[in-house]
Amino acid sequence: MAFRSSARTSRAVDEDNPYWISFSDIMSGLLVIFILASLQLILELSEKNEMIDDAIKELAERNQARAEMLEEISAELSSQGIDVEIAENKSVLRIPDDQLYFKTLRYDIPKDRSHAVLSVGRALYNAITKDDRGRLIETVFIEGHTDSRPARTLEMGNWGLSSYRAITVWNYWRGNNEYGAAMGGLKNRDNNPMFSISGYSATRPKIKNDNTAEKQRQNRRIDIRITMRQPNLIDLKNIKKILGENDA
């Protein structure tokens, strides 16, 4: 009789509390929520890792393409007896002063260097247009430089002198009958001109302490810098943010 009374009491409690949920039901619900949240987090992390891997792979492929271009340019010119330098982590083609030199306070190309300058332009054009590589390039900068001595006699000083040197080389290439028109018409994927001009004055010397005529001559130079397009999948700020989250 006592058992029956207890059972009736339990049923009465259940009937009087329609919102009653057992502790095991609560734990089961929480477990389901936890599993779903964990799966969502795993999927998000997996997607982020894939985006990071794709972006890194894309950057590596484009940097490799740039390195190959510069190596091809160097090899083509070397076969003609023209030696150039590949610098700054295989992103810059440097034309040494024995191939192209500028006299003090001058930006015109000496006649005995005209052939070498045209050959560099031809090799650069051939490398860029090979296998549709132009789609990977953002900008090709023609960079002019001066030595450390102030160009006081020029209106715009060393900055103007370095820019004029770069402009002179560009105009020399663009005026060539063989490849000039095609080179001048090259566009990047955003349909912007691929080539641009930079003048650095004496701010990026090849030789920092150019206290001799020979060292100054080496700093009066032209560099060709190729910048590649960044990945479309994810920008570098987001990569940094994601990596920071994963390290936390």
Q: What distance in Å separates the CA atoms of residue 64 and residue 58, rounded to the nearest whole number?
A: 10
Res 58: pLDDT? 74
Give the pTM.
0.73
Run of H or E residues at 52: helix 23-78
pLDDT the model gives residue 37: 75
What is the residue-averaged pLDDT of the chain?
A: 83
Q: Edge-to-edge strands of the sheet including 195-199?
A: 85-87, 92-95, 222-228, 137-144, 195-199
Is 125 a residue whose pLDDT tops 50?
Answer: yes
Please give the pLDDT value at position 2.
Answer: 46
Query: At residue 28, does pLDDT exceed 70?
Result: no
CA distance 223 to 95: 6
Domains of the chain are 53-228 (3.30.1330.60)
Q: What is the pLDDT of residue 50?
A: 64
Cα separation, 40 vs 17, whole angstroms: 35
Distance, in Å, from the CA atom of 129 to the CA atom of 126, rounded to the nearest integer, reads: 5
pLDDT at 231: 66
Contact (Cβ atoms closer than 8 angstroms) between residue 164 and residue 233:
no
